[in-house]
Structure 1
Amino acid sequence: MRRGATALAIAAVTGLALAGCSGSGGSSSKPELKVADAYMPKPVGDGEMAAGYVTVRNSGGTADKLTSVTSTLSDDITMHVTKDQKMEQVSSLPVPAKGELDLERGGNHLMFMGLKKQPEIGEKVAVELHFEKADPIKVELPVKETTYNPKNS
């Protein structure tokens, strides 16, 4: 009888220990990023600069940061937050675990300065998003009308 109780106790402890190591229900060890809603409004005026918008969704259990953006369209791409209707350049933007980073009109966005060419409506601008933890993601930003807003489409 004692032997059976000991075996049962060992089995219970082992089961609890293994359940604690289970990947389900725990945090993912890395960010799992996907991109959606990417676009660039056609630049106006002298065409020296343009904005870029994208949503980065993180289904993983670990937060990440967008640290830089590269493109053949510009050698000077910066990230901005909008606070009290003022743009402020930042060195990174957070991508929360189980959340998203929204770069959208009137809010956080990308700025492409010193454009090498004027992008036209219908073209796609290739960019690469670089993160602190996740691998870079290549994205094409379709060039849309200046007044385009995906929330109204």
Structure 2
Amino acid sequence: MRRPAVAALVAAGALALAGCGGSDSGGGEAALSVGSAYMPQPVSDMAAGFLTISNDGDTADRLTSVSSDAAGQVTVHRTVDGAMQEAESLDIPAHGSLVLESGGNHLMFEQLKRKPEEGQKVSVELTFDRSDPVTVEIPVKSATYSPKTGH
């Protein structure tokens, strides 16, 4: 009879401690969601990808890499003073969002294995510093598509 009671106390203590964080923890977790995703139909062996990653959590996170079976390589780019630069990661603030949009930060699909056409979808896996990976199906839009909202 004593062992189950001791085990219950140990489990309760572990659960209570798991909810506590030090001053470096940020006070919670990132809570990520992805929306407004699209890829303009590629006209060459490269393509761009755009989406918005929202973080409703109390902790900032970072997009660290992207992969897709449609491309040999997917890189994350930031746009600085009108110039595109490959980035190791992009920040996603707590209670904020990371917007990847035409003319700004974006994804580059390089060495396309196939040219996705309008109406198809491209699967990508987004990898983060703190959160679990997220798989997104990105719809392919016309090469001249311009979103009305979300970017």
Q: Which category describes the TM-score, using the shorter chain as reference length?
A: 0.7 to 0.9
CA distance in structure 1 between the partners assigned to 2:87 and 2:41 by the alignment: 24
| 4+ residue runs over 2 A deviation | none
Q: Cα gap change, 1:99/1:118 in structure 2, threshold over 3 Å: closer, same or farther?
A: same
SS at match of 1:114: strand
Q: CA deviation at 1:75?
A: 2.3
Aligned residue type for 1:87: M
Q: Work out which of the two has the higher radius of gyration on C-alpha atoms and give 1 or 2.
A: 1
Q: Report the equivalent of 1:31.
A: 30
Report the RMSD for the aligned CA atoms in angstroms. 1.5
**1:7-18 equivalent positions in 2, closer than 5 A:** none
Question: What is residue 89 of structure 1 aligned with on the other side?
Answer: 86
Task: Give the drift of 1:82.
Answer: 0.7
How far 1:151 moved relative to its partner?
2.5
Residue matched to 1:138: 135
- Distance in 2 (CA, whole Å) between partners of 1:30 and 1:57 is 13
In structure 2, what is the Cα distance between the partners aligned to 1:28 and 1:36? 25
CA distance in 1, matches of 2:27, 2:138: 29
Three-state SS of the structure 2 residue aligned to 1:34 is strand
Q: How does 1:1-153 map to 2 (within 5 A)?
A: 28-44=27-43, 47-151=44-148
Size of the aligned set, in residue pairs, is 126
Amino acid at match of 1:37: S
